[in-house]
Structure 1
Amino acid sequence: MAAGLPATERFRAYGPRHLDDIAARFGAPDQIRETVRRLSLVLPFRVNEYVLTHLVDWDRVPDDPLFQLTFPQHGMLDAADEEQLGKLSEDPGDRLLLRDLVGDIRARLNPHPSGQQQYNVPHHEGTALPGLQHKYHETVLYFPGQGQTCHAYCTYCFRWAQFVGDADLRFAAPDPTGLLAYLAAHPEVSDVLITGGDPMVMSTERLRRHVEPLLGIESVATVRIGTKSVAYWPQRFTTDQDADDVLRLFEQVVAAGKQLAVMAHFSHPRELETAPARHALQRIRATGAVVYCQAPLIAHVNDDPATWSTLWRAEVAAGAVPYYLFVERDTGPHEYFKVPLARAVEIFQAAYRTLPGLARTVRGPVMSATPGKVVVDGVQRTPEGSFFQLRMLQARDPALVGRPFRAPFDPHAAWLDDLHIDPASPPDLTAALRGVPTATGTLAAGTAAHTSAAQETTAS
């Protein structure tokens, strides 16, 4: 891989119009370049100099995990759709047809999985609050409008719809006014997760406008910041013009008596191997913030036990806390990235067995589904047959948290909708798992747990 960046390197994003330059600099074959160009008509594509020079191993392209993680690949879209994209994109006279095709493909990719747009948007005084989600009793998600992009885009991202320029698909709050009013009316909320996109793309001055008002709210105990910046642009905390300012803001949060949790996304050990990333984590932890690490299990990138064992050990060595291994959500190029639940359990358990005690904070494999976070604890072999052992790790209905249940083993199942819940499960739990929320925090029976992804796309 290429040599390191200058210490004062300024952030610069590269998109589809820079593909020729990227291919020329790093020797990407024409076929790969054209595939990325074609698929980026539908799937968002964005990288930067750090990703290109520190993370991608160009000698291993296209199989390199970090290349798979950041560059759209052949197979991520239906073959017929990809072929039609190629035909229409070559003829300037087909622009309207191309636009319609892109919109149709995106609609079929389930842009808002798990009912996040339909069921999670809270209301205050009869009005829906843009840029907020409230799924779990104690936690509100907040999407500041200026933070709805990233330093680079992950090809698997379940929030890809934030980045395609469609206002109807995008969560974004213009300012914290709605959030503050909602928190005042809901003192049960103790945690605010500032998310995106990536809040750390904002300048410290802008980020401060969203963070400081939370410090005076007594009911808010924890401020979380969801970010991939340590992996994709660690200079945000080291050499950017306002890097010291953002660390002082973190110190201010801690000094106000709040817990500051940086929810860092690391998908592969290589993202933690660079000196800039390790330095960034040191500086963040020195402010009193706690760094929690999470990522999904994704085919072509990290679908083997050794990768996860190495990653979790590296996180602990850096002073961070392994937190979640997620199951890839049923959205975007899901067919390309999905790993069957049976294999996910094998990978998690094989990696987990290699860990020291301090790294066994990690939980997984976890599906963040419509009724809540469902963890697959394992596979049980019985005289009646084999079953997935599952548990509600988090739920819209707090009474369901921690409740176990099971589903007949299916070697091909990759999501909760693929499972048939054991009819012997308790009625309230069965109703929740087979139900559809009528409002935030409530569930109504009537829709089968194996509702298809296509139906959920329609509902969203």
Structure 2
Amino acid sequence: MLDSTPPRSTYSPITLRDLETIPQIAALPAETRLQLSAVARVLPFRVNRYVLDELIDWSAAPDDPIYQLTFPQPGMLAADDLQTVIALLRSGAPAAELEAAVRTIQRGLNPHPAGQITLNVPTMDGRALRGMQHKYRETVLFFPAQGQTCHAYCTYCFRWPQFVGLEDLKFAARESEQLVEYLRRHPVVTDVLVTGGDPLVMRTAALRRTIEPLLEARLPGLTSIRIGTKALAYWPYRFTTDPDADDLLRLFEEVTERGMHLALMVHASHPREFETPAAIAAIRRLRSTGAVLRCQAPLIRRVNDDPRVWAELWRAQVRLGAVPYYMFVERDTGPKEYFKVPLARALAIYADAQRQVSGLARTARGPSMSATPGKVVVDGVLESGGTMHFSLRFLQGRDPAWVGRTFLAEYDERAAWLDELRPAHGAPEFFFQRPLREQQQQR
């Protein structure tokens, strides 16, 4: 571990009530501030001084990608919804009336896509385990209750319902004993993904209470522990100068010393997130524990919809010893219309970026949709029967037999998600749709 780290910023979380204390926001016209506040009533907003001072180029705002990544924008809501909230704010409507309107808008934004509640929540002894998801045979997701927030919120986050008070739609578990017992009963599971939110907002002692039981149980099937995090981008001091940073790294060392594979699933949206001295120092310390850093993010309009940005991002990751892992397609939830990139353009961006880097950086798979049936990648565009088609392939599937299977869809330059595609050659449906319906009926 390195002893020398860059000076630490003051950790000062800023939420909706503090929005206008940010000088650059306070300087905006009153109408613009009202619009930002209205959007932040519907979608979660949280940022900190590190993001404000080290990552955002305020001279380029509002077009700066990190500003778009972290600050609410008027276009993120439908015009009618935005005006509804603005009118209520202007009139000084009672809090209950405002909350009711906000909840109605939120529930219309497809808050849990891809069957996260209806299909992914496992059961044990006849009881739903709402702090877990089990979509793919080998991998279980675990949501520790204390990790269901983040150092800052991405405006496009598909798990935004975790942060806005929709308790009936929230995933959270208070203890890991159920997880261990579930894994004992499902020895086919090899990977546990501790996710959120961001588990690395937790103090190390709390995170240890999640991870240690997995190590002590010595489950024969479990070989990998993954931790999903954006902390490297939003608060790299978690790994360097936080009071329990050394304890955290010792915990990671214990995982790898037990012969377990530890993977940090690093959410990395833009190369700027890897450029600060604090981020570079954090990555070096993390690698010293034996953890592997695998980097992933969605392709987002206004943030990283440029092949040069992705090529630079992948090169930075390889240079620092991290592994480019996934380029995702923005999910069909929340402010999807504001951020979405059509599949045809996503494929062009991915292919162009891949051509700009060496083989070491071509490990990122994409553009991949984490859709209801599974992870589906757009492999290319080809001609079949005199017409153009998308060639698609399952990287993961609810049915393991689907993994690796290819299929064709009619080419549509406007389609941005799997359910917007039609089967090739006039077929009535894709091969997976009937068995998927049967799975849904069984639930």
How do residues 135-146 of structure 1 correspond to structure 2 at under 5 angstroms? 135-146=135-146
Number of the residue aligned with 2:281 = 279
Offset of residue 8 of structure 1:
4.2
SS of the residue corresponding to residue 389 of structure 1 reads strand
Offset of residue 12 of structure 1:
2.1
Number of the residue aligned with 1:229 = 231
Which residues of structure 2 form unaligned runs of 5+? none
Q: Taking structure 1 as the reference length, what is the TM-score of the superposition?
A: 0.91
2:161 maps to a residue whose letter is A
Whether 2:16 is the aligned partner of 1:16: answer: yes
Number of the residue aligned with 2:203 = 203
1:419 maps to a residue whose letter is L
Number of the residue aligned with 2:411 = 409
How do residues 387-402 of structure 1 correspond to structure 2 at under 5 angstroms? 387-402=389-404
Offset of residue 436 of structure 1:
3.6
2:183 maps to a residue whose letter is L
Offset of residue 233 of structure 1:
0.2
Cα RMSD, aligned residues only: 2.0
Number of the residue aligned with 1:373 = 375
How do residues 327-366 of structure 1 correspond to structure 2 at under 5 angstroms? 327-366=329-368
2 CA distance for matches of 1:314 and 1:26?
34
Write the deviation string for residues 307-331 of structure 1: whole angstroms up to 9, x where unpaired.
Answer: 1000001000010000000000000
Which residue among 273, 289, 292 is the counterpart of 2:291? 289
Number of the residue aligned with 1:313 = 315
Number of the residue aligned with 1:103 = 103
2 CA distance for matches of 1:32 and 1:52?
19
Offset of residue 284 of structure 1:
0.4
> Contact 1:23–1:29 at 8 Å: present in 2 too?
no
SS of the residue corresponding to residue 395 of structure 1 reads coil
2 CA distance for matches of 1:363 and 1:80?
37
> Contact 2:20–2:26 at 8 Å: present in 1 too?
no
2 CA distance for matches of 1:362 and 1:393?
12
Offset of residue 26 of structure 1:
7.7
How do residues 239-250 of structure 1 correspond to structure 2 at under 5 angstroms? 239-250=241-252
Offset of residue 444 of structure 1:
6.4
Report % sequence identity: 55
How do residues 106-121 of structure 1 correspond to structure 2 at under 5 angstroms? 106-121=106-121
Q: Provide closer, same or farther for how the CA distance between residues 6 and 26 of structure 1 changes in structure 2, counting only shifts above 3 A.
A: farther
Write the deviation string for residues 259-278 of structure 1: whole angstroms up to 9, x where unpaired.
Answer: 00000010011111111111
How do residues 69-148 of structure 1 correspond to structure 2 at under 5 angstroms? 69-148=69-148
2 CA distance for matches of 1:158 and 1:229?
17
Offset of residue 125 of structure 1:
1.2
Number of the residue aligned with 1:449 = none
> Contact 1:342–1:411 at 8 Å: present in 2 too?
yes
2 CA distance for matches of 1:321 and 1:175?
31
1:157 maps to a residue whose letter is C
Q: Taking structure 2 as the reference length, what is the TM-score of the superposition?
A: 0.95
2 CA distance for matches of 1:346 and 1:281?
30
How do residues 6-85 of structure 1 correspond to structure 2 at under 5 angstroms? 7-23=7-23, 27-85=27-85
1:417 maps to a residue whose letter is D
SS of the residue corresponding to residue 90 of structure 1 reads helix
Offset of residue 33 of structure 1:
2.6
> Contact 1:69–1:155 at 8 Å: present in 2 too?
yes
Indicate the larger mover: 12-21 or 235-244: 12-21
SS of the residue corresponding to residue 75 of structure 1 reads helix
Offset of residue 30 of structure 1:
3.8
Write the deviation string for residues 123-182 of structure 1: whole angstroms up to 9, x where unpaired.
Answer: 111111121000000000000000000000000000000000121010000111211110
SS of the residue corresponding to residue 273 of structure 2 reads helix
2 CA distance for matches of 1:357 and 1:167?
45
2 CA distance for matches of 1:383 and 1:397?
29
Offset of residue 218 of structure 1:
2.7
Offset of residue 93 of structure 1:
3.6
Write the deviation string for residues 21-58 of structure 1: whole angstroms up to 9, x where unpaired.
Answer: 10358844544432221101100000001000011111
Offset of residue 20 of structure 1:
1.6
1 CA distance for matches of 2:405 and 2:12?
47
Offset of residue 7 of structure 1:
2.4
> Contact 2:19–2:25 at 8 Å: present in 1 too?
no
SS of the residue corresponding to residue 394 of structure 1 reads coil
> Contact 1:432–1:443 at 8 Å: present in 2 too?
no
1:190 maps to a residue whose letter is T
1 CA distance for matches of 2:28 and 2:323?
36
Offset of residue 9 of structure 1:
3.8
> Contact 1:264–1:292 at 8 Å: present in 2 too?
yes
1 CA distance for matches of 2:71 and 2:167?
24
1 CA distance for matches of 2:29 and 2:255?
48
Offset of residue 17 of structure 1:
1.1
Whether 2:406 is the aligned partner of 1:432: answer: no
Number of the residue aligned with 1:212 = 212
Offset of residue 430 of structure 1:
3.1
> Contact 1:393–1:401 at 8 Å: present in 2 too?
yes
Offset of residue 422 of structure 1:
2.6
Number of the residue aligned with 1:251 = 253
Write the deviation string for residues 251-308 of structure 1: whole angstroms up to 9, x where unpaired.
Answer: 0000111000000010011111111111111100100000000000000100010010
> Contact 2:132–2:171 at 8 Å: present in 1 too?
yes
Number of the residue aligned with 1:191 = 191
Number of the residue aligned with 2:164 = 164
SS of the residue corresponding to residue 332 of structure 1 reads coil
Q: Provide closer, same or farther for how the CA distance between residues 408 and 8 of structure 1 changes in structure 2, counting only shifts above 3 A.
A: closer
> Contact 1:10–1:240 at 8 Å: present in 2 too?
no
> Contact 1:38–1:86 at 8 Å: present in 2 too?
yes
Offset of residue 424 of structure 1:
7.8
Offset of residue 74 of structure 1:
1.3
2 CA distance for matches of 1:86 and 1:223?
45
Indicate the larger mover: 379-388 or 389-398: 379-388
Q: Provide closer, same or farther for how the CA distance between residues 24 and 370 of structure 1 changes in structure 2, counting only shifts above 3 A.
A: closer
Number of the residue aligned with 1:420 = 422
2:195 maps to a residue whose letter is T
Equivalent pairs counted in the alignment come to 437
1 CA distance for matches of 2:289 and 2:109?
40
1:328 maps to a residue whose letter is E
